[in-house]
Structure 1
């Protein structure tokens, strides 16, 4: 794995994380727990819609970028993005918040799908600099425009969040369109049943797993809204965002690993890189979690406001599951890159069963803490299943639990290359 790619991706993810924290702090102080709850629920709706649009515009584009004509697969992706982005929000109208913000759901669904199609192409072509740059730029624009709208123009409604988000995606989609149009040959559309079938077949399998895993991540939001109100969603969403920030490391490593493995025919090399990434991810995640858990409750209240006094307690119960997901994400990306998708669906389905049955008992009874316990348990059970399957396929050795001398030297070399290069 290239040191430059790892550090660039990590730097991009770290910047995105910090900007997201900035937006969270801004939103909690301006709109309180209830406003933050509304934002979390609408963002969750967008994620649900995104899992269906991503059947074509997501991992399918990355996987087939080097295997099929880019112009052809992007054409199908753009059509899918528009059709799904306009139609799917209409199925969310059973939620009160979805009805109120329907126009934002439609516009953002289309723009996010188009944006995802373009950066997925960059990832599949191993253009990680572009992938990281545009991912970071979206968050930078969103953060800046929210600040300008609220502080300069005094637009203090929670809708400002979504208006700024629309602006950030629209600007970047137009820029990417201009660049891609110059680099890729788009031919006259001639629907190829074979191409569409390949895109859909790969995409629905990966997205089914992602959708089930999303329900593991966010079903607690909807349970909390039903049993404890929107304000509790706001508090839990902040707790989740803060604890999930440690996934910056795992997802950076996972993206680089995926880009490597999907273009690598050497099975043994791919397994070795995955094992190394798992150990590196575990070490980094433990250190970051220790740092987050050392922050006193008073600091969280100072940053987010008095109504967020339970954030620290929720983070504590979330932490074991957060660690498990961080490490298992590495293995999940390995399975996705090697087209072993069935196990991802199974592990997500198992986690969802835990979330539903335990959540319906624990959340009404224990509220925020119950939601944290259920989420952590779901993460842990599904992750253990993934570990077991990986080590069925890859021989397990004692050294897989610790850095070997050569791996430790490799890690030192990676750091030295970055810190002391001329």
Structure 2
């Protein structure tokens, strides 16, 4: 494992963590729990569209970047992104106004096109550009929100989506310029074999991701149905904290994934996975402890009186947060090895549990019931993935603890 890349990725993830917190705090105070709930629902719909787009523009782009001509990969990914982004959002139009349906379409197309470019950087082992563009997606959006609210005087929730659209468009143009400098136009042509391989790999990985997403987001829709949109806004703050913490494990997972798809040494891959596993586990644990040490009154002061349960939400979600931080690493290992069946099984187990338990816990206990259900579901699915990984190797508790030698190497890199 390249410790310099790990350190760069950690730094970028902590910047993202801070930007995520800032955006959550600002949007909650600016538009209240109802506005935050609306944002959460639309972003959830965008995520569903992205799962379909990512059949070609997601991990299949990274996986085949070193196996096929990149020009052919881009051709299929771009075409699919535009088609899906212009058609699938209409499925959700019944629950959104025309204004927000339009925003969803534009966001779907541009975010998928940008995702293609970023995933190609991963496949080309250019983790530095991946980190840069991941940070800029939040940083530029925040800057545009500030300009639109305080300079242009725009106050509606639509500001959030307009800023996001402008941000994604700017980054797509910039990343395309960098990417196409290394591509050859004459190599652009459709290939049936490449299409089939990308589709077969893509739908399997996205099916697993979609099931996991439903596991993550079904509670939003159950809460909206049983308790109203305001409860979604309150609960989404806790989920936002969870996902902000997961940026650490996901960044490590992307570095690991880039190594695995460009390596043919199974023992090396397992060793690198264990290193990523322990780093993810310990850094996530530190983040959770830090959040739980913050007084409950702080969350009320920052987010408003509707969010007095935020610390309790984080507490009940914390076991699941830690479990997903571990499964993110192992999941990318199996994806890099093209062993996708276990990922689908893991996600289905969590989803079935969520569906069975939601109808009992959420109507009775509301937000806390959603937290308990979500956390147990995360732990169940992650335990299955962890057990599958350790069928391939011996289990040791020190796999979750950083050694003195690793600490020394990390400190040396930091000094440099």
TM-score when scaled to structure 2?
0.97
Q: Secondary structure at the match of 2:274?
A: helix
Partner of 2:186: 187
Distance of aligned partners of 1:132 and 1:362 in 2 relative to their CA distance in 1, 3 Å threshold: same
Contact 1:224 1:233 in 2 (8 A): yes
Confirm or deny that 1:79 pairs with 2:79: yes
CA distance in 1, matches of 2:410, 2:179: 33
CA distance in 1, matches of 2:382, 2:32: 34
Superposition pairs of residues 365-404 of structure 1, within 5 angstroms: 365-397=364-396, 399-400=398-399, 402-403=401-402
Q: Secondary structure at the match of 1:101?
A: helix
Contact 1:225 1:233 in 2 (8 A): yes
Superposition pairs of residues 65-104 of structure 1, within 5 angstroms: 65-94=65-94, 96-97=95-96, 101-104=100-103
CA distance in 1, matches of 2:127, 2:179: 15
Confirm or deny that 1:409 pairs with 2:405: yes
Distance of aligned partners of 1:413 and 1:26 in 2 relative to their CA distance in 1, 3 Å threshold: same
CA distance in 2, matches of 1:129, 1:262: 17
Partner of 2:227: 228
Partner of 2:215: 216
Q: Secondary structure at the match of 1:245?
A: helix
Q: Give CA deviations for 1:56-75 in whole Å, capped at 9, x if unaligned.
A: 00101100111100111101
Distance of aligned partners of 1:343 and 1:98 in 2 relative to their CA distance in 1, 3 Å threshold: farther
Superposition pairs of residues 32-71 of structure 1, within 5 angstroms: 32-71=32-71
Contact 1:42 1:98 in 2 (8 A): no
Superposition pairs of residues 308-327 of structure 1, within 5 angstroms: 308-327=307-326
Per-residue deviation, 1:182 = 2.2
Q: Give CA deviations for 1:355-401 in whole Å, capped at 9, x if unaligned.
A: 11111111111100000000001100000000111111223345445
Root-mean-square deviation over aligned CA pairs: 1.4
Q: Secondary structure at the match of 2:125?
A: coil
Contact 1:63 1:262 in 2 (8 A): yes
Per-residue deviation, 1:177 = 2.1
Contact 1:72 1:187 in 2 (8 A): no
Q: Secondary structure at the match of 1:409?
A: helix
Superposition pairs of residues 264-275 of structure 1, within 5 angstroms: 264-275=263-274
Partner of 1:156: 155
Partner of 2:344: 345
Deviation >6 Å, runs of 4+: none
Q: Secondary structure at the match of 1:67?
A: coil
Per-residue deviation, 1:417 = 2.0
Contact 2:256 2:273 in 1 (8 A): yes
CA distance in 2, matches of 1:397, 1:31: 48
Contact 2:141 2:167 in 1 (8 A): yes
Deviates more, 1:247-256 or 1:206-215: 247-256
Superposition pairs of residues 269-348 of structure 1, within 5 angstroms: 269-348=268-347
TM-score when scaled to structure 1?
0.96
- What residue ranges of structure 2 are gaps of 5+ in the alignment? none
Per-residue deviation, 1:199 = 0.6
Per-residue deviation, 1:125 = 0.2
CA distance in 2, matches of 1:188, 1:332: 33
Partner of 1:17: 17
Contact 2:20 2:244 in 1 (8 A): no
Q: Give CA deviations for 1:159-185 in whole Å, capped at 9, x if unaligned.
A: 000000000001111122222222201
Q: Give CA deviations for 1:19-69 in whole Å, capped at 9, x if unaligned.
A: 121111111111000000000000000000000000000101100111100
CA distance in 1, matches of 2:243, 2:408: 27
Per-residue deviation, 1:262 = 1.3
Matched residue count: 416
CA distance in 2, matches of 1:77, 1:398: 41
CA distance in 2, matches of 1:382, 1:27: 32
Contact 1:92 1:98 in 2 (8 A): no
Q: Give CA deviations for 1:219-262 in whole Å, capped at 9, x if unaligned.
A: 11111111111111111110111133222321121111111111
CA distance in 1, matches of 2:273, 2:176: 34
Per-residue deviation, 1:280 = 2.2
Per-residue deviation, 1:402 = 4.6
Partner of 1:245: 244
CA distance in 2, matches of 1:125, 1:98: 41
Contact 2:75 2:189 in 1 (8 A): no
Contact 1:5 1:256 in 2 (8 A): yes
Per-residue deviation, 1:324 = 0.7
CA distance in 2, matches of 1:340, 1:193: 23
CA distance in 1, matches of 2:182, 2:188: 18
